[in-house]
Amino acid sequence: MQKSVCALVCAAAAALAAPALQAAPEAVSGATVKVNIQGGAMPENVDAVTSASVVPEKLRQKIVPNGFTRDGKAKRVLFVVGDPRHESVEWDLVNTAAKHFMEKGLEVEIRDLYKIGFNPVLPLESFFHAKDGFGPAPKDVAVEQLIVSAADYIVFCYPNWHDSPNAITKGYTERVFSKQFAYRDTEKGLEGLLKDKGIFLIMNAGWVGMGRGSVGDGIPQKAGEKSNPIWDSYMTAYKTVWDDTAGFWGVKNLGQFVNDRTPGNHDADYAEKLQKLRDDLKASLDRNFGLK
């Protein structure tokens, strides 16, 4: 009896879940090819049928960061990247931004979190270091703190996986931006310790209301709209979270470049669309970082 009740409940739950899955943002992603592979083996032509973005090989960029020098004359930009797939549009945006900063005379470092095997989990052993600044920083955290200290700008880059920094990037903020390094208590309250630095977000998304840029840059859905309210509410949410974090650390939030107009993987005019995306990102960086 118990078993059959459970079977009924489980079947009902599965039936309820099905429409929700179809309505998920991924289903309307610009990169999405409308095929539905339900479980089973990995398809051989995964590049052709994935709903993830895949930049065609001939259009991929390989960028070598020029690195931070010791003389400190040029502004230094640190990219903290949490994306396992180097063929993604997210990585194309990282490479586009890194190249643009270098062309404008800035120094660039890229921390590829998957490549360096960054451990994002804040464990019990170093919990009180992160929370209160007690004890020495774990070795891997100390390395990252040196690099963060040297940077003028920190650009966080990750694909939108459930509307928050993805796990590896979020873990970087939890472990590296620890108390006594990024902020401390004073008699007047919390003091951010990373003054004179700026942060920025570059995020590729599947569907956040249609737009490119930040608040106010949505594609209007009705006559008379300048942006669109769905896009603006997503952008305001992301901005609010990063504004709050910036306040903690004492840094300035310079803004965000979010894209949910990814070219479809098989669009005939893919190259033009990708170029437009790169140009839009560069214009956003020029504006937000005051580049000339």
Interaction site with ligand FMN (CB under 6 A): 25-26, 29, 31, 52-53, 83, 85, 88-90, 159-163, 204-208, 262
Specify the residue, 214 or 262, whose C-beta has the smaller distance to ligand FMN.
262
What residues contact residue 216 under an 8 Å CB cut-off, 6+ apart? Answer: 226, 227, 232, 235
Specify the residue, 31 or 182, whose C-beta has the smaller distance to ligand FMN.
31
Question: Least Å distance between CB 249 and ligand FMN?
Answer: 25
Euclidean distance between the first and the last CA atom of the chain, given in angstroms as a whole number = 73
Could you give the 3-state DSSP secondary structure of residue 176? Answer: helix
201 φ, ψ (degrees, to nearest 5): -120, 135
Specify the residue, 162 or 222, whose C-beta has the smaller distance to ligand FMN.
162
Residue 123: how many other CB atoms lie within 10 Å: 10
Specify the residue, 92 or 107, whose C-beta has the smaller distance to ligand FMN.
92
Question: Least Å distance between CB 287 and ligand FMN?
Answer: 22
Question: Least Å distance between CB 123 and ligand FMN?
Answer: 24
What are the residue ranges of helices labelled H in the chain? 2-22, 46-49, 89-103, 124-132, 139-150, 167-176, 229-249, 270-289
Give the sign of the dihedral formed by CA 184, CA 186, CA 192, CA 193.
negative
Question: Least Å distance between CB 230 and ligand FMN?
Answer: 11
Specify the residue, 210 or 251, whose C-beta has the smaller distance to ligand FMN.
210
Question: Least Å distance between CB 8 and ligand FMN?
Answer: 30
